[in-house]
Amino acid sequence: MPLKEIASFNVKHLSILDENGQWDEDLDPKLSDDDLIKLYRAMVKGREADQRMLKMQRQGRLGTFPPTTGHEAVICGATFATRDDDWLVGSYREMPGRLMRGEPLERTLHYYNGREEGSALSAAHHLMPIQVILGSQLPHAVGMAYAMRYKGEQGRAVVCFFGDGASSQGDFHEALNFASVWQAPVVFVCQNNQWAISVPLACQTRSQTIAQKAIAYQIPCIQVDGNDALATYKATKDALDRARSGGGPTLIEMVTYRLIMHTTADDPSKYRSADEEKTWWDKDPIPRLFHHLKKIGVWDDQKQALLEEDVKNEVNQAVKNFESEVDFKPDAPFDHVFETPSAALEEQRALFLSNLRDSNNA
Amino acid sequence: MPKLNMVQAINLALRQEMAKDKNVLVLGEDVGKDGGVFRVTDGLLDQFGSARVIDTPLAESAIMGAAFGMSILGLRPVAEIQFSGFAFLILPQLEGNASRIRARSQGTMSAPMVVRMPYGGGVRALEHHSESREATFAHLPGVKVVIPSGPRNARALLVAAIRDPDPVVFMEPKHIYRAFKQEVPEAEEVGIIGQAEVVKPGEDITIISWGAMLRPTLKAVEALEAKRAARVEVIDLLTMSPIDARTITESVKKTGRCVIVQEAPKTLSMSSEIIALINDKALLYLEAPVKRVTHFDVITPYFGRENLFLPNPDQIEAALIETLDF
Ligand SMILES: Cc1ncc(C[n+]2csc(CCOP(=O)(O)OP(=O)(O)O)c2C)c(N)n1
Ligand SMILES: [Mg+2]
């Protein structure tokens, strides 16, 4: 019997606005001028906050944190496509998206200053707390999507972010399979920045794309230029529309680059070249959108100057708020182990507080 | 003798064992080109090549499972889990397979492998980077659990772990990775797994601790002995499992008093086990209840509060005094 081809697949790549300013008007998501400016503003603010956090970390005013510089088009484009009642289930590299959802920057600052209080408002903004266990958030997103549908909340969906490295975890594959079997309203967004700390994508997977991994699970997929905010927005919007109307999950691979260190404790010169970084600085998503907005006449240098002033002030104010909030209950960890602390735990709290009094008196 | 910190000492153990035995290899996340996020495996890739120093894809369960498979066919893999907080992802393979292959195969197969992982608090790290969960591993029959307390015993015990015929979880107190240096001989030194060390002899009270807690313990002992005539015997546990019942029992029989200091939460911890052991073997020698200084049964606080929750020398000294004066 001759071999028959019984299935064949392809993977598409979406680019709308490329690094040379080439713009595909047919594919353009046709955002209003206002929306374009909102999206651009979120990216600029994210960059400003990130750079400010770097300085604070260097001055010892923040602990270790993972910067987002270079990721703004992925995070802001995807987040801009969501509704405020969609849940965002991220990892730890989505700070600008958290700001877009209205979570104050102060919260992120507290988190990276070693305070659980940093996550206290996340639920109110439909944000899961920052996730450090790589890949573990993907199954959560599936369960949350299932719960929304189960509760009859038609039209709501979940967007789940994770990295290229995390796509090697069993949780990634298990979650995609669940999402597919359940046809859950979830959009998986892989922030493929091509590095997992020191491990390049080529050592992470032999697959030509990360997007194609969805094909094995019968999930629609697409690869997107992750430094093109119009494309990241459009791909996410399309996937969300499908999810909202009962069409199930999507995997979007957004190809971007972490322009600086993995975390402030990392030294990229140990494993990658300055030349490589330079080629990606040339694709920086923020100037790309800036030039485009100018070209289509919605932006100019004066507006840019005002915006820069504005976001600087907002970030300054957040830092001030953060630094003036210093009154933390030392024994708060006892409050949140269970809804009601056990008797044994209360006994431990008493010991903790008496130790604390002793050391304050010493 | 060269003076090394713990990172350099562990690196020395790996380098020497790899040079000596081509079955020894290293695998994990960022262990190659980066030399590990703490630089413990620095230089190994250049010296031994990528077949023996493997930057793996990001998947702890597969790191553990693959290392187990390698060990079945006679290799001696040393797997690194980047932080112990992610070691829960190896439990299905450790509990389900590595710990029990000797039993399942009726002694015809074994898993001579090591899983190294930095653990513990005190370095202002992010969430999941400060836990102390040695009891979780020590609870598994068939798994040995070792925790060094300084560069010299880290080197010697890692050599022993690599040569051990059974799976060893090797937990490295990252708080003291670079905190101090010790003389570590270039010539081979092999520790003994299952043996605690009497770091300082004494007659009046025993204090037991391990890992990064040994230093605050010794500080407390020094402070106490400067004030009182009491002589404290200090035991560095070194191996959590199999526990050195003899050293503990002999000491407690001699002193009749005991304090245990651990960084881990209290419930079902190593200190619980040590108290149970004393109950079994030396109860009638006790002149005071065994006292413990521990972390609390809370989710490990982020670094803003971590120092409030870690045992400190003052608390340890107070526990010694209370037990002496009982
Ligand atoms: C389960 C787990 N294993 C290991 C780590 C340590 N770690 C933190 S980030 C990282 C690399 C992640 O790479 P990727 O998924 O590509 O995300 P990126 O940081 O590049 O955004 C590693 C190994 C972790 N946080 N969680
Ligand atoms: Mg990455």
Q: Which positions in chain A touch B124 (Cβ < 8 Å)?
A: 63-64, 114
ipTM: 0.96
Q: How far apart are CA A157 and CA A165, in angstroms?
A: 24
Q: Does the pLDDT at position B83 exceed 90?
A: yes
Which residues fall within 8 angstroms of residue B239, CB to CB, at 6 or more apart? B144, B145, B146, B147, B193, B194, B195, B196
pLDDT digits (tens, 9 = 90+) for A320-330: 999 999 999 99
Q: Give the up-direction half-sphere exposure of residue B232: CA atoms within 13 A in the CB hemisphere.
A: 29
Interchain pair B57, A332: CB under 8 A: no
Q: How far apart are CA B171 and CA B144, in angstroms?
A: 11
Confidence at B310, pLDDT banded by 50, 70, 90: very high
What's the whole-number mean pLDDT along residues A218-242? 98
Q: Is B82 in the pocket of ligand 1 (CB under 6 A)?
A: yes
pLDDT digits (tens, 9 = 90+) for A122-163: 999 999 999 999 999 999 999 999 999 999 998 999 999 999
Confidence at A360, pLDDT banded by 50, 70, 90: confident
Of A65, A114, A170, the CB nearest to B61: A170
Mutation for testing the A interface, residue in B63, B89, B126 having most A CBs under 10 Å = B126
What's the whole-number mean pLDDT along residues B265-273? 98
Of B58, B298, B303, the CB nearest to A337: B298
**Encoded amino acid at B62, one letter:** A
Given a contact cutoff of 8 angstroms between Cβ atoms, the answer to whether A67 and A54 are in contact is yes
Counted residue by residue, chain B has a size of: 326
10 Å CB burial of residue A314 (0-12, 13-18, 19+) is middle
Measuring CA to CA, which residue among B5, B7, B6, B19 is closest to residue B188? Answer: B19
Q: Where are the domains of chain A?
A: 13-328
Task: Determine the pLDDT at residue B18.
Answer: 98
Q: Is A197 in the pocket of ligand 1 (CB under 6 A)?
A: yes
Q: Does the pLDDT at position A339 exceed 80?
A: yes
Q: Which of A162, A164, A197, A254 to mutate to test the pocket of ligand 1 (most atoms within 8 A of CB)?
A: A197
pLDDT digits (tens, 9 = 90+) for A243-272: 999 999 999 999 999 999 999 999 999 999
Q: How far apart are CA B174 and CA A184, in angstroms?
A: 42
Per 3-state DSSP, chain A is made up of helix, strand and coil in percentages (nearest 5) of 50, 10, 40
- Mean of per-residue pLDDT scores for chain A: 97
The tokens describing B231, both together, are 């002589």
Place of tokens 């313990």: B217
Q: Does the pLDDT at position B273 exceed 80?
A: yes
Task: Determine the pLDDT at residue A344.
Answer: 96
Domains of chain B, CATH where assigned: 3-183 (3.40.50.970), 197-324 (3.40.50.920)
Which residues fall within 8 angstroms of residue B215, CB to CB, at 6 or more apart? B149, B176, B179
- Nearest atom of ligand 1 to the alpha carbon of A166: 15
Q: Does the pLDDT at position A362 exceed 80?
A: no
Q: What are the start-end ranges of the H helices in A21-60? A: 33-58
pLDDT digits (tens, 9 = 90+) for B27-80: 999 999 999 999 999 999 999 999 999 999 999 999 999 999 999 999 999 999
- For residue A177, the CA-to-ligand 1 centroid distance in Å is 22
Would you tell me the crossing angle of helices A285-295 and A72-80 to the nearest 10 degrees?
60
The class of domain A13-328 in CATH terms is alpha beta
The continuous run of DSSP H or E covering B60 comes out as helix B60-72
| B242 preceded by a cis bond (ω within 30 of 0) | yes
Q: Does the pLDDT at position A277 exceed 80?
A: yes
Interface list for A 249-278 with B (CB within 8 A): 265-266, 270-271
Interchain pair A114, B85: CB under 8 A: no
- Nearest atom of ligand 1 to the alpha carbon of A132: 25
Task: Determine the pLDDT at residue A359.
Answer: 86
